[in-house]
Amino acid sequence: MLAIDSASLLYGDVIILGRVSCSIRPGERVALVGPNGAGKSTLLRILDGSLAPTSGAVRRPPGATIARLAQDPIVESDRTVHDELASVFQRVLEIEEQLRQTEHAIESAGHDLAAQMRHVEDQAHLHAEFERLNGYVVESRIGEVMSGLGFRPEDQARGVGTLSGGWRARVALGKILLTAPDYLLMDEPTNNLDIAAVEWLEDYLRASPMAVLIVSHDRYFLDRVTTRTLDLRDGRIDEYPVSYSAFARARVERDERQNAAADLQDRTLARQRAYIERFRASATRSTLAQSREKQINRIERIERPTVRRASRFDFTESRPSGREVLTADRLTKAYGDKVVLSGVEVAVERGDRIGIVGPNGAGKSTLFRLLADLEKADRGTVTRGHAVDIAHFAQMDADVFALGLTPLDLIRASAPNGWSETELRNALGQLGLAGDDHQRDVATLSGGERSRVALARLLTRPANVLLLDEPTNHLDIAAREMLEGAIERFPGTVLIASHDRYLLDRVATRILEVDRGTVRAFRGNYSRYREQRERIGAPPGESPAATRGSPQATAVAQTGARTRDLRRPDPIRQIARIEDDLARMQAERSAIEAQMATTEFWLDAERTRTVIDRLSTLQRAIDELTGRWDAMVEAG
């Protein structure tokens, strides 16, 4: 077992960690969560031995291997991608070379039988060690990891130095997975991965015997991989034997109970102090008053949990748009010889909440630029409806700020005329940027702070259509929750291209999958889209070509073909479809609630967590559909 006992870390007089304790058992998968600056990355470094605590002890199992994936790791190498990944099998590579040399020595021994026998014996020992190290499956393991992380076969021969930072980070991740340590510590492992690679990584970790401790802002990833959550707050760690979503609910309940207990203690102590003051000078009761005062002083006070400031922000709505918002008709766009989009048709109506998914480079950002009229299609048209006002958040907005400017400079430049200094500062404050940060050079801001500035600029632009391209990049969980709330409250139309599946589950009611130049439409949120893809035997974001011709694949193809027909849906048919979906979901919810009423349901902890998480997802979907049904019925 890997454990920390009462470890603290101080930099000068600053307490980074204060007497924290935790343990990771062999084979378990654990999430480490907490606010930014709580010391999560620091804790990983203490566990792997790269940083020594100021006090306390770290217990590492004798002989166990421990590896840590740093946040945004970059591999610097002059090797090819294949050779860099293969370098983790150094001893296997050495044996392969020694076997080649031994085989040559046997051939060179000629008629010297004694020399031949010595070389044959050496060869046998080398083969035995090669088998013990599973040398025969090294190439297949490298191929599996390369494919899972999104590398193509031709990428094997590419030089690592020619790759972008994101792809070199994938090489670093691949190397540490192939190392297969007993304990793997991962700091934001889903950075730089698209959804297909993230979901492959989820399956890989769940099937692996490695113990894993994960720091991540990807809540969906934590839910699918981890079974225990460590909450690092206020200098201590609290343990919850559940995955992230269940932990988030349990933490709220725990904080409420702790606050209630502290309130009760305060009221009780106040009554005791009033008694003491009343009878302190009494000749007959002063001794009793003094005794009670001593008792009060010995009582350990219940510490209240730190209350996070309830921040929120709202997008600025302009005039209401017409019913038909955006219509893309046979859009085609190429860059040189690479066709990114081919014959794409998309229809967007007022009030839609559309999630856009697909592999990196599939054309999601290109589609947004065409819809926002920032680029022109090679063929096809984009038609805007009546009174449509678009605000566009580009994926790279937070990374291209001019150096030397402050957040206040940037938001002032993007705001319409008439915004006062106070209003501009309020917009930054709503995104959690303190007053001192308003005048800092943006070059000194963290990635999360720059993303908040980019979102604050969006708040100043009145709009009824939001095009959000990877808006959660660099944001911590608290900021992502603020963004989700703002999208839910926004009365206009929202299109979101995102790898944040938790966000898409919460806000999207339709998914558009962009892949290989085409767009397919799926009803429902991300989880429902994933279920539909799994039914046809193709992972999300992957073409169902392998199952082409099956009834399910034909149905998906027809769904895509009908995208253009969705431009002018019959309201009666829409209401009927919503009622059908509601009936199905409510029946499933009733079945789950019936299971929960039995004693047997609670005996299997893992199954219980899975079913309860499904119930939460169902309830969110039912609430969303009920709201849409009410709105459509009222509209007549």
| CATH code of the domain covering residue 398 | 3.40.50.300
Based on the structure, what is the number of domains in the chain?
A: 3
Averaged pLDDT for residues 593-609: 58
Q: Is residue 93 included in any domain, yes or no?
A: no
Closest CA to 54 of 99, 20, 88: 20
Averaged pLDDT for residues 597-616: 63
Q: Is residue 206 included in any domain, yes or no?
A: no
Closest CA to 494 of 625, 599, 350: 350
The 10 Å Cβ neighbour count of residue 627 is 11
Q: Which of 298, 332, 364 delimits the end of a domain? A: 298
594: CATH: 1.10.287
Phi, psi of 500 (to 5 degrees): -85, 95
The whole-angstrom separation of Cα 508 and Cα 493 is 11
- Note whether 416 and 554 are same-domain residues: yes
Task: Assess whether pLDDT exceeds 60 at residue 597.
Answer: no
- Note whether 505 and 357 are same-domain residues: yes
Q: Is residue 506 included in any domain, yes or no?
A: yes
Q: Is residue 101 included in any domain, yes or no?
A: no
Here the tokens at position 85 are 């990944």
Task: Assess whether pLDDT exceeds 90 at residue 332.
Answer: yes
- Strand ordering across the sheet containing 390-393: 390-393, 465-469, 493-497, 353-357, 510-515, 518-523
Q: Is residue 204 included in any domain, yes or no?
A: no
Averaged pLDDT for residues 394-411: 72
pTM of the predicted model, to two decimals?
A: 0.72
Task: Assess whether pLDDT exceeds 60 at residue 195.
Answer: yes
525/633: higher pLDDT: 525
The whole-angstrom separation of Cα 123 and Cα 80 is 29
Per-residue confidence (pLDDT) for residue 558, from 0 to 100: 36
Task: Assess whether pLDDT exceeds 90 at residue 344.
Answer: yes
Helix (H) or strand (E) holding 528: helix 526-535
- Note whether 540 and 579 are same-domain residues: no
Closest CA to 45 of 16, 74, 25: 16
> What residues contact residue 627 under an 8 Å CB cut-off, 6+ apart?
none
- Note whether 464 and 580 are same-domain residues: no
Helix (H) or strand (E) holding 353: strand 353-357
Contact 432, 451 (CB under 8 A): no
- Note whether 345 and 452 are same-domain residues: yes
Q: Is residue 400 included in any domain, yes or no?
A: yes
- Note whether 262 and 344 are same-domain residues: no
Residue with tokens 């590579």: 93
- Note whether 579 and 444 are same-domain residues: no
The model's pLDDT over 249-270, given as tens digits with 9 standing for 90+, comes to 888 888 888 888 888 888 888 8
Averaged pLDDT for residues 310-315: 76
Q: Which of 542, 568, 594 delimits the end of a domain? A: 568
- Note whether 529 and 585 are same-domain residues: no
The 10 Å Cβ neighbour count of residue 312 is 12
Residues in the chain, how many? 636
The whole-angstrom separation of Cα 561 and Cα 549 is 15
Averaged pLDDT for residues 559-571: 42
- Note whether 500 and 487 are same-domain residues: yes
Task: Assess whether pLDDT exceeds 50 at residue 214.
Answer: yes
Q: Which amino acid is at 541?
A: G
Scored b (16 or more CB within 10 A) or e, 577-588 reads ebeebbeebeee
Q: Which of 298, 315, 338 delimits the end of a domain? A: 298
Q: Is residue 118 included in any domain, yes or no?
A: no
Residue 355: helix, strand or coil by DSSP? strand
Task: Assess whether pLDDT exceeds 50 at residue 561.
Answer: no
Per-residue confidence (pLDDT) for residue 305, from 0 to 100: 74
Task: Assess whether pLDDT exceeds 80 at residue 563.
Answer: no
Task: Assess whether pLDDT exceeds 60 at residue 560.
Answer: no
257/547: higher pLDDT: 257
Task: Assess whether pLDDT exceeds 80 at residue 152.
Answer: yes
The model's pLDDT over 381-399, given as tens digits with 9 standing for 90+, comes to 999 999 999 999 886 665 5
Averaged pLDDT for residues 81-90: 89
Q: How confident is the model at residue 578 (pLDDT cuts 50, 70, 90)?
A: confident
Per-residue confidence (pLDDT) for residue 455, from 0 to 100: 85
Averaged pLDDT for residues 22-44: 90
Per-residue confidence (pLDDT) for residue 544, from 0 to 100: 44
Contact 302, 309 (CB under 8 A): no
The model's pLDDT over 481-494, given as tens digits with 9 standing for 90+, comes to 889 999 999 999 99
- Note whether 452 and 493 are same-domain residues: yes
For 65-104, the three-class secondary structure string (H helix, E strand, C coil) is CEEEECCCCCCCCCCEHHHHHHHHHHHHHHHHHHHHHHHH
What domain range includes position 596? 570-636
Task: Assess whether pLDDT exceeds 70 at residue 552.
Answer: no
List the end-to-end C-alpha distance of the chain, in Å, as a whole number. Answer: 63
- Note whether 425 and 364 are same-domain residues: yes
Averaged pLDDT for residues 350-364: 91
- Note whether 291 and 398 are same-domain residues: no
